[in-house]
Amino acid sequence: MPAGLWAALGPLLWACGLALQGGMLYPQESPSRERKELDGLWSFRADFSENRRQGFEGQWYRTPLRESGPTLDMPVPSSFNDVSQDRQLRSFVGWVWYEREVTLPQRWTQDLGTRVVLRIGSAHYYAIVWVNGVHVAEHEGGHLPFEADISKLVQSGPLSSCRITIAINNTLTPHTLPPGTILHKTDISKYPKGYFVQDTNFDFFNYAGLHRPVLLYTTPTTYIDDITITTGVDQDTGLVDYQVFVQGSEYFQLEVCLLDQEGKVVAQGTGGRGQLQVPNAHLWWPYLMHEHPAYLYSLEVRLTAQTAAGAVSDFYTLPVGIRTVAVTEHQFLINGKPFYFHGVNKHEDADIRGRGFDWPLLVKDFNLLRWLGANAFRTSHYPYAEEVMQLCDRYGIVVIDESPGVGIVLVQSYSNESLQHHLEVMEELVRRDKNHPAVVMWSVANEPTSFLKPAGYYFKTLIAHTKALDPSRPVTFVTNSNYEADLGAPYVDVICVNSYYSWYHDYGHLEVIPLHLATEFENWYRTYQKPIIQSEYGAGSVAGFHQDPPLMFSEEYQKGLLEQYHLVLDQKRKDYVVGELIWNFADFMTDQSPRRVMGNKKGIFTRQRQPKAAAFLLRERYWKLANETTYHLSAVKSQCLENSPFSF
Q: Which residues bind ligand BDP (CB under 6 A)?
A: 203, 381, 446-447, 480, 498, 536, 583, 600, 602
Sign of torsion over alpha carbons 279, 285, 290, 296: positive
Of 359 and 507, CB closest to ligand BDP: 507
Between the CA of residue 187 and those of 191, 192, 490, what are the distances in Å? 6, 8, 45
Quick one: CA torsion of 367, 369, 370, 374, rounded to 10 degrees? 180
Q: Is 447 a catalytic residue?
A: yes
Distance in Å, CB of 28 to ligand BDP, minimum: 34
Between strands 337-338 and 475-479, the pairing is unpaired
Burial of residue 315 (number of CB atoms within 10 Å: 0-12, 13-18, 19+): middle
- Choosing from 140, 428, 447, 555, the catalytic residue is 447
d(C-alpha 225, C-alpha 223), whole Å:
6
| Strand ranges (E), 202-323 | 209-210, 214-220, 223-234, 237-247, 252-259, 265-270, 273-278, 297-307, 310-320
Nearest to 582 by CA among 509, 495, 515, 500: 500
d(C-alpha 642, C-alpha 623), whole Å:
10
Distance in Å, CB of 211 to ligand BDP, minimum: 18
Sign of torsion over alpha carbons 248, 253, 258, 262: negative
- Residue number of the CB closest to ligand BDP reads 203
Distance in Å, CB of 94 to ligand BDP, minimum: 25
Of 103 and 592, CB closest to ligand BDP: 592
Return the amino acid letter for 519. T
Of 334 and 495, CB closest to ligand BDP: 495
Of 128 and 497, CB closest to ligand BDP: 497
Of 416 and 480, CB closest to ligand BDP: 480
Of 33 and 378, CB closest to ligand BDP: 378
- Count Cβ atoms below 10 Å from residue 545 Cβ, excluding itself: 17
Say how far residue 102 (Cα) sits from the centre of its chain: 29
Of 166 and 581, CB closest to ligand BDP: 581
Distance in Å, CB of 587 to ligand BDP, minimum: 10
Distance in Å, CB of 286 to ligand BDP, minimum: 24
Residue 351 CA neighbour count, 13 Å, CB half: 5
Between the CA of residue 285 and those of 289, 440, 528, what are the distances in Å? 6, 12, 29
Distance in Å, CB of 343 to ligand BDP, minimum: 16
Distance in Å, CB of 329 to ligand BDP, minimum: 26
Catalytic residues: 447
